[in-house]
Structure 1
Amino acid sequence: MSSDRRILYVVYCGVAVAVLKEFNAVVTEPYMDEPFHVPQALAYCRGEWSTWDPKITTPPGLYILSVLLHRVFMFKCNLNLLRLTNTLTLFALPLVLTRLLGFHQRRRSPPKLTPSIEALVLSIFPVAWFFGFLYYTEVPSLVSVLCTVVAATQNKHWLAGLLGIVSCLFRQNNVIWVLYAYAASQLMRLRFKRGDAKLYDPPALGAGPGDFIRSIMSAPKALPELLPAFAPYAVVLALFGGFVIWNDGIVLGDKSNHVPSFHVPQLYYFIAFATIIGWPVVICGEGGPLKIVTDVSSRIRALLTTIISIFMGITIQHFTIHHPFLLSDNRHFTFYIWRRVFMLHAAVPYLFIPGYQACAWAWWIRVARDQSLLQTLVLPVLILPTLLPTPLLEPRYFLVPYILLRAQVVDVQSYGIFVEGLWYMVINMATTYVFLYKERVGVGRFMW
């Protein structure tokens, strides 16, 4: 069995190399954001460490990683090999995901270089897979976040803190996932701690509002148990706070086009995106599609649904953002979704409200099945500060939240994993084909 998984991993890496080769053969010049990232990396390769493009909004982690590969393995600093930086991190993705899935499923991790089938399938998640062949920060950022979480779950907290700093070098808001790494590790530890647990944290599916209040009230009693492991993460937070003060904000450059906004509907777009792209995970649990439909239906109460719908309608009316990048850049799929769906009629955004609620309940049921209340709540709570301030509808922003959400679903059936992998492959083939071979004159290449 292990040898079969190793063969599949080799196939995965081989396909990735073949796709990278095709990207480099067809897209011979830097594209979209690459004209900003590539010159910056080349400057670092030449040792020009004081050079910085003020249009770049993220820290220099990607360029530093490329320089390390350049110095250690004698890689050339050109477009093709800079893109290889991301593909190499794509190689690491299933190995890290295997550990993360093992933590949530409470299974012993397999030998090194032997990723699980489920991890291999999740590694071809379309957004991650696509950006594994362009010189973008997405995949290195994702892998560094997952490494941080895995280290924390293994009680290697100082290593997790160090990896958390590395993750923040790729994207500033990864500091939120450093906190997630700490919280996920501690909540699991307290849940299965022998003896008297001071933190009240009941099973999520049977919990109600009263249980949540009781959990919050019990938190101060658990602080003596929680604080010792927090020291490394406190160091990360202190360093991040120093950066924000020094930089006068979170965004490094081009601050005028990246002003934080209160974008409540972004949460609705995320849950819709997660369900559309992850529907096999939602419906292929124990009991199959009929059970999830029944469970969701049992959760819907007329009064509560009406109150939530009114609240969502108000937030859609007052906090929907028509970002100028979204309205003007017709090289992204979101441009057409926004123009042809959300702007079709003023009433359209409100028509999705029941669907948003049903999808949210479905994911809650799937994730909460084998978790405590606080374990299930911690990710949604920390998603808030990552998505609420982002004014632009951009699937790349959903990458880390989706992977962390998907990893918590522990009972996807074998046929469901197969369907999930097939679905991802169909999307990947379609988006890659369109990007590489359907370039439009005067428009360019279409991408996420």
Structure 2
Amino acid sequence: MTLAFLVLKCRREIEARLYEAHTSTRLRNTSQYAVHTALNIALFPLLFFFSGLYYTDVASTAAVLVAYLNHLKRIGRDRSSALNDLTTIFLGIVTLFFRQTNVFWVVVYMGGLEAVHAVKTLRPEQVDQPVILTLFRQIKYFAWRYSLGDIHDPPLHMMWPDDMLFCVLSLGIAAICNPIRVIRQIWPYVAVLVSFGGFVAWNGGVVLGDKSNHVATIHLPQMLYIWPFFAFFSLPLLAPYALPIINIGLRILPQAGSPTSTSKPAPEAETNAEPASFSFSKSRRSGSSEKDSATGSSDRKYPRPSKPLEIASFIFGIKLILWPLYLLATIVLSLAIVRYNTIIHPFTLADNRHYMFYIFRYTIRRASWIRYALVVPYTLSRWMTWGTVAGCSRFFTIHTRACSVYGNGTGNPPFLSHPMVTNVGFSPRQTYTPFPTEITENSQDTSKDQELSKALEDDPLLASVIPASTSTGLIFLLATTLSLMTAPLVEPRYFIIPWVMWRLLVPAWRLHDHGGYSDIASRLSNHPKTRPLFEFFQHYDLRLIIETFWFIAVNVATGYIFLTKPYIWKAEDGTVLDDGRLQRFMW
């Protein structure tokens, strides 16, 4: 119950921060999505299983969630009090008493997010991008804008490989140029790191117990194993990936007699299919604003940009070039990691009570070629889990109003500042959305509160479908990597906090398609018997219900095996080991 309560509070704060990023109204409601998400995370099989045994994982997760909740409240205001800074230090140190690797979640993840928050509170004056004709001046202009805090940090559903690069670059420049503001925000996390460093120096290492069997080792395959782990336990959340396959089947099947063959598409599927994105180079005509139309700026003629600027704008503007290269690079890197860094810890082979023993036995240790073949499921799992945390990712679809508030065609989110977007007279800004400002009790408008409450009554998922930002995803990836890559032992319990943090960021999803007259959503919405069900799942995430039953099924299966399938350890010659005590299967 305690864990579920903490998850509920954290998810509520996440939704509030994401909603306030594009509005001046503070979100006070607790969504149904947050409530059901809290229930499901509490049912997460590893947490559920180890809550009944003497392990510190549940308490460790709870401690990290308390620190995370404090962090989420801190980034809801521009500056925190000295008392809250001291509280942050105390909560961070408490997490280290349970598991030393929690330092990465407190210092790197939460501290990194607060550094981003500090940069975003700079709020420079938004200006029209000038007409620039050379690559050097283009880079110089955006470096200047980054130094002021006009960073590039799009939502995850808008993220492409180059957005990750420029997000990191813009944040780095902004932090270097505004060190006092950043240090003022993150100094409590620096204090936690210093305290941890002092403990390591005093203890002679990170480990408190058996140091000989817990030697820190670079173990990069952990970042390959984690994605199938996420995909297995979050299988119901991957349901949207099955819809395109179902839709293809529906289009192949004969349409004769189909009730949707002559009907109109579902309203959610047909409205505003225009993606809320920015364009590159001369293609920015499609993104021109009303301001441009009124002034007639689109009729002006500008000198042609230099060849280097045109080439750079073309390369970064054609995502079909960047995405395959990025995918190929990740596959090659995965193969290299498998080839040169696969480590099998002696504990993995010695203890046949754990499921990981059998997973390794029948996959990685089965044959050498299987290690390389597993790169395919590693890649697919990674792609699907990142697409899930992005909501409706643009890697494979057009964003619509059913996807999130950024898909309704009304404008782009703030913090869009891609350096390879050129102004040739069609649209002087990448976004007209103002930077979010601090919302205080005095600045809150009662009428806006009532308007928001009414909107949430009409659409309970309104604030739940908003994806996190690119910087959040990258910092999460960094913290996960640092917390896992030093552990030579592959232990499912090590993946608990990464999964919980990832699951907290997953936005809600409503049953919908992305256009088409014969898609499954169109059929369900137009058939009189299925229309009520379709309308219900427009306002309630279908995946949550499936996830609940999935976790219950896994918990029942593992609990049954643990209780009813004990065995006795025996040596190869039949000698009874461990004094004949019963052994039981477990995670």
TM-score (norm 2): 0.56
Q: Give 2:478's aligned residue.
A: 381
- Aligned 8 A contact 1:161 1:178 in 2: no
Unaligned runs of 5+ in 1: 1-90
One-letter code of the match for 2:229? F
Q: Give 2:209's aligned residue.
A: 253
Distance in 2 between residues matched to 1:109 and 1:167, nearest whole Å: 28
1:441 Cα offset (Å): 2.7
Superposed CA deviations along residues 61-105 of structure 1, whole A, max 9, x for unmatched, are xxxxxxxxxxxxxxxxxxxxxxxxxxxxxx210111012111222
Bigger shift: residues 151-160 or 319-328: 151-160
One-letter code of the match for 2:345? H
1:94 aligns with 2:116: no
Q: Give 1:277's aligned residue.
A: 233
Trace 1:205-220 onto structure 2 (pairs within 5 A).
Answer: 205-209=158-162, 210-212=165-167, 213-220=169-176
Q: Give 1:314's aligned residue.
A: 336
Trace 1:20-419 onto structure 2 (pairs within 5 A).
Answer: 91-106=1-16, 108=27, 116-155=35-74, 156-179=84-107, 180-187=109-116, 191=120, 195-196=124-125, 198=149, 200-203=151-154, 204=156, 205-209=158-162, 210-212=165-167, 213-284=169-240, 289-290=243-244, 301-369=323-391, 370-413=467-510, 414-419=541-546
One-letter code of the match for 1:218? A
Distance in 1 between residues matched to 2:322 and 2:53, nearest whole Å: 43
Alignment partner for residue 559 of structure 2, among 428, 432, 442? 432
Q: Give 1:84's aligned residue.
A: none
- Aligned 8 A contact 1:198 1:221 in 2: no
1:217 Cα offset (Å): 2.9
Distance in 1 between residues matched to 2:506 and 2:365, nearest whole Å: 34
1:253 Cα offset (Å): 1.9
- Aligned 8 A contact 1:272 1:356 in 2: yes
Superposed CA deviations along residues 183-209 of structure 1, whole A, max 9, x for unmatched, are 334535755775556151321424443
Distance in 2 between residues matched to 1:138 and 1:303, nearest whole Å: 39
1:315 Cα offset (Å): 1.1
One-letter code of the match for 2:8? T
Distance in 1 between residues matched to 2:247 and 2:198, nearest whole Å: 48
- Aligned 8 A contact 1:167 1:174 in 2: yes
- Residues 225 and 361 of structure 1, relative CA distance in 2, 3 Å threshold: farther
1:139 Cα offset (Å): 0.3
- Residues 347 and 270 of structure 1, relative CA distance in 2, 3 Å threshold: same
1:149 Cα offset (Å): 0.7
SS of 1:343's equivalent? coil
Superposed CA deviations along residues 254-295 of structure 1, whole A, max 9, x for unmatched, are 1111111111111110111011111222335xx97439999x
Distance in 1 between residues matched to 2:106 and 2:244, nearest whole Å: 37
- Aligned 8 A contact 1:151 1:157 in 2: no
SS of 2:234's equivalent? helix
TM-score (norm 1): 0.72
Q: Report percent identity of matched pairs.
A: 30
For these two proteins, the number of residue pairs brought into alignment is 352
Superposed CA deviations along residues 109-148 of structure 1, whole A, max 9, x for unmatched, are 668xxx8122111111111111101111100000000110
- Aligned 8 A contact 1:99 1:109 in 2: no
1:222 Cα offset (Å): 4.0
Unaligned runs of 5+ in 2: 20-26, 75-83, 126-147, 249-318, 392-466, 511-540, 570-581
